[in-house]
Structure formats: structure tokens, C-alpha cells
Amino acid sequence: MVEAPRFVIREIALYERPVVLRLPFRFGVVTLTECPQVFAHVRIVFADGQSAWGAAAELMAPKWFDKNLALSNEDNFDQLRRVTALAREAYLSDATPGSAFGHFARHHDAHRLAAGRLGFNPLLASYGPALLDRAVLDALCRALQMSFYAAVRSNAAGIGSARPEFDGLGMDAFLAGLAPAAHIEARHTVGMVDAITATELKEPVADGLPETLEDVVRVYGHRYFKLKVGGDIDADLARLGAIEAVLDRTAEPYFVSLDGNEQYTDAAGIAELMARMRETPALARLYASILFVEQPIARKLALERDLRDLRSASIGKPVIIDESDGELDSFVQARARGYAGVSSKTCKGFYKSLLNAARCAAWNAEPSQIRYFMSAEDLTTQAGLAVQQDLALVNLLGITHVERNGHHYVDGMAALPVEEQRAFLDAHGDLYERSHGAVRLRIANGRIALASLDCPGFASAAMPDFDAMTALAI
């Protein structure tokens, strides 16, 4: 292991640019057609005067961090802008040198309290530091000329006892044992208003890219799928039946997860859906293909009752938390309530992902009939820094399939400067391709090639064009 370098965070510039969807996407209580993407550009300085810049990006998705229906999408965007600016203020407030993880650990509690005073829940509060932490690590990797993979495996960030949650997990040994793969399976999300077949298309985009689930399977060759359910059991069963009719056309095995998006008030509701699926012969193959169920119960209730406390039915599949994962110890609470897994999302913080992965390894080493696991969930990541950093993280964690849908709902890099598109394509020719007039994510046989992410920096040998952006509207 290398000794974790210490440095000061000297500058943090925040930018944004608009993202317009080519297809509307409905998740939970919102149908999204456009939203901004935020960028952080961070400079760190070492004791010898050496400095380095790093960057990160994240979509400002509405109605996920805070699902209060009284708030508009613009209100949600402003929340995310404010919490990002709040994190910037915290990270620049202390000029004491620290490791990359040390800066995160130093400001974690105070930032959460400050965000709480503004009425921001813990999940929303984590958005700002999660963005900055990736940019800081990117800068450190570039200064050391190390890849993200090498930096994490050698613990160049200094992850450990600066936060008590990381104690007793043998982080150095755990991190050293991580090994990235050359490819990952892309898990395609089928949203609540997505067309399953061409007969459902009322206003086709007709841009040559896939629009229906049929198109997606034919063009990209996916074997993994994430299916949204909405809490209306009869409607969910009918939609799942239509989806199975498409997926069953292939003789090859396929795998699915169900995403409840907090649409159920208790475990009995999702257990009823699962029981009805088991009772429906036409859904037999689909049910057998379910790997897990994601956050079916509203976050305010999810950790109050034990999932296993069901007298007449059982869910029958492992259940993970997603929106309930607001605190560093949320997964510990969820485990005690019968949950088997938790999602990794860069918008919740990559340190939390590493922490929860270490927990899974430690818990799975204990005598137990339950296998604890992490899933990779994030459909909002856009081509460029956001998708690359998320892919590198989940790949290093050993997760073999990832929810990936930004390429489907957004027309790749079509809205970006030509030179920026060219830079990412030249640097990551295995990850991207040029088609239909723009650079976009390449998915072949359902898989994404990742070899080029093993480069100096946090998974990117190219940088976005910051001059083509506007300052974050704080």
C-alpha cells in the first residue's frame, strides 16, 4: 500500500449544461423530458506546490432525492444546486492538508447538519459531497499518474479509520483484493411509459435509434433488464405480461430486477404482487428470471418493519434498498430488517459504495443462509465523465451487470461540442462509437467494453469542454 498523499483543496468551479431527452422517461412520480447536468472542476495542491485538476459530472434528476409532490422539478434542481454549493463551501473552508478520504470524513457530519437545517434529507445532502469526492480523487489520480483502479486497490485515498463506520472491515486488504473486469453487462430499464412494441408508439421520434423494448433487444442484444412497477397490481401484471411476451422470444436466458420505486406502503403489498406473479402461468419464466426487487416500500417506512414479518405470504426474492440508503449506516439498519442488498450509485458517494461492498464481504464470511450483495443502479449517467466514473466504480466492485439507460433516453453526445465528442471517442474507442450523427455509448451483445477506463485519472483520459458550459446557477 502507498501512503495516502495529503493535500489542500484550493479551487472548486461548478458548472451546468442542459440535457434534453429524446424519449420521455417516467420513474416513480415524475415523467422527465429535460434536466441540467452539473460539473465540478477541482484543483488540489500538495505541500511541494504541485497541483492537479480533477472533474466529475452528475445529472440533477428531479423527484428522486426529494419526492415531495409540492415541489416542482425546478425546485428540485435548485435543491441540488444549493447542496452542491454547500459542499463546495465546506470543502474550501478548511486549508488543513488531508488525504482524499480525509477531506470527505472531515466535512461529512457538519455538511449533513447544514443541509438538514435547509430541510434537505440525508439522500439529498449526499449529492454535493459525492460529486466533489469524485473530482478530488480524479485530481489525485492525475497527480500520481495512477488509474482509479490502482488508486483504490493501493488505498491512495486513505480510506479507513477517519470514519468509524469503516472500522473493523479490513479496508486495506479488501481494497487490494478488488479486480476489475474487461466487460460488464448493461441492464436495460423499462420505464413506466416506455413502449414495449411498435404498436404503442403514438409519436415516434424516428431518429433511427431504438424506441421500443423490441428495438432495444434487437439492436443492443441485452440479456439483463430492470422493470419498473407502479403499485397498481393489476396494471403491473398486465405490463409485465407484455414485457415477458417480448423477452420470451429469445431462447437465451435473460435476467430481470423489479424496481418498486417506493410505490408500496408495506411489505405485504409487494408480497402480493410476487404471489400473483407466481400464480400466473404466463409470467412463469419472467418470475424465475428475477434476481432481486429494488426499494418497493416508501423510504419513510422501509426500515421501520421487518420484511420477513409476513404471516400469509413472502416476497420470495432478495430485496435491496436504494432511496432508503441515505446514511453511512443505512445498509446496517436494512440488514436488520431483512434486506439482503443495497445499490451502488455514484450520486450517493463512491466511498459509501466501497464501504457497503466491504460490509457484504465481511457479512458473507459469517455463517448465514443469506448472501448479501450490491447492485449497480443508475439510469441517469450521461456519456462522458458521469458514465465512465460510475462504470469504473461498479466494475471494480465486482458487480457484473449495471443499470444503464442514459444512452437510450438521451441522444448520446449530440448536444455537445464536436471537439469534446471527438476527444472522448479518441480516448475511449472501446466504450464509444459514432453513429446517427453523434458519439454515443457502444453496447454490443448486451455488453460494454471497459478496458480504456484503466487510465490515469478517475476513468477518463478526456475532459469536457468547461468553456462551453455556464456557471452553476446558485
177, part of any domain: no
Closest Cα partner for 343 from 302, 304, 312?
302
Check which CATH number belongs to the domain holding 125 and give it: 3.30.390.10
Asked if 141 contacts 147 with a C-beta cutoff of 8 angstroms, the reply is: yes
Assess whether 47 and 139 both reside in one domain: yes
Could you give the CA distance from residue 30 to residue 319 in angstroms, rounded to a whole number? Answer: 23
164, part of any domain: no
Confidence of residue 305 (pLDDT cuts 50, 70, 90): confident
163, part of any domain: no
Assess whether 227 and 349 both reside in one domain: yes
Assess whether 82 and 197 both reside in one domain: no
Assess whether 298 and 421 both reside in one domain: yes
Assess whether 137 and 218 both reside in one domain: no
Residues linked to residue 35 through DSSP beta bridges, in sequence order: 19
What is the per-residue pLDDT for 474? 84
Assess whether 374 and 451 both reside in one domain: yes
> Could you list the residue range(s) of the whole structural domain that residue 13 is in?
7-145
Confidence of residue 26 (pLDDT cuts 50, 70, 90): confident
Dihedral sign, Cα of residue 334, residue 330, residue 233, residue 200: negative
Check which CATH number belongs to the domain holding 299 and give it: 3.20.20.120
171, part of any domain: no
Assess whether 451 and 302 both reside in one domain: yes
What is the per-residue pLDDT for 177? 98
Q: Which residues of 228-264 are buried (b: 16+ CB within 10 A; e: fewer)?
A: bbbbebeebbebbeebbebbeeeeeebbbbbbbbbbb
What is the per-residue pLDDT for 184? 98
Asked if 111 contacts 117 with a C-beta cutoff of 8 angstroms, the reply is: no
Residue 461 has pLDDT above 60, yes or no: yes
Asked if 432 contacts 406 with a C-beta cutoff of 8 angstroms, the reply is: no
Boundary (domain end) residue, out of 97, 117, 145: 145
111-157 pLDDT, tens digit each: 999 999 999 999 999 999 999 999 999 999 999 999 999 999 999 99
Q: What domain count does the chain have?
A: 2
Q: What percent of the chain has pLDDT over 70?
A: 98
Could you give the CA distance from residue 243 to residue 423 in angstroms, rounded to a whole number? Answer: 38
What is the per-residue pLDDT for 28? 59
Confidence of residue 276 (pLDDT cuts 50, 70, 90): very high
What is the per-residue pLDDT for 3? 86
372-410 pLDDT, tens digit each: 999 999 888 999 999 999 999 999 999 999 999 989 999
pTM over 0.85: yes
Assess whether 256 and 353 both reside in one domain: yes
24, part of any domain: yes
173, part of any domain: no
C-alpha cell at 89: 463551501
Assess whether 204 and 73 both reside in one domain: no
Assess whether 134 and 204 both reside in one domain: no
Confidence of residue 267 (pLDDT cuts 50, 70, 90): confident
153, part of any domain: no
Task: DSSP for 173-202, please give it.
Answer: HHHHT----SEEEEEEEE-TT--SSGGG-S
Task: Name the H helices within 231-310.
Answer: 233-247, 267-278, 284-288, 299-302
What is the per-residue pLDDT for 311? 57
Residue 340 has pLDDT above 90, yes or no: yes
Mean pLDDT in residue range 276-292: 97
Task: Name the H helices within 146-260.
Answer: 148-153, 171-176, 213-220, 233-247
Residue 85 has pLDDT above 60, yes or no: yes
Assess whether 306 and 402 both reside in one domain: yes
321, part of any domain: yes
What is the per-residue pLDDT for 88? 98
Confidence of residue 240 (pLDDT cuts 50, 70, 90): very high
Boundary (domain end) residue, out of 85, 119, 145: 145
Assess whether 258 and 338 both reside in one domain: yes
Region of 377 on the Ramachandran plot (φ > 0 left; ψ -120 to 50 alpha; else beta): beta
Boundary (domain end) residue, out of 98, 125, 145: 145
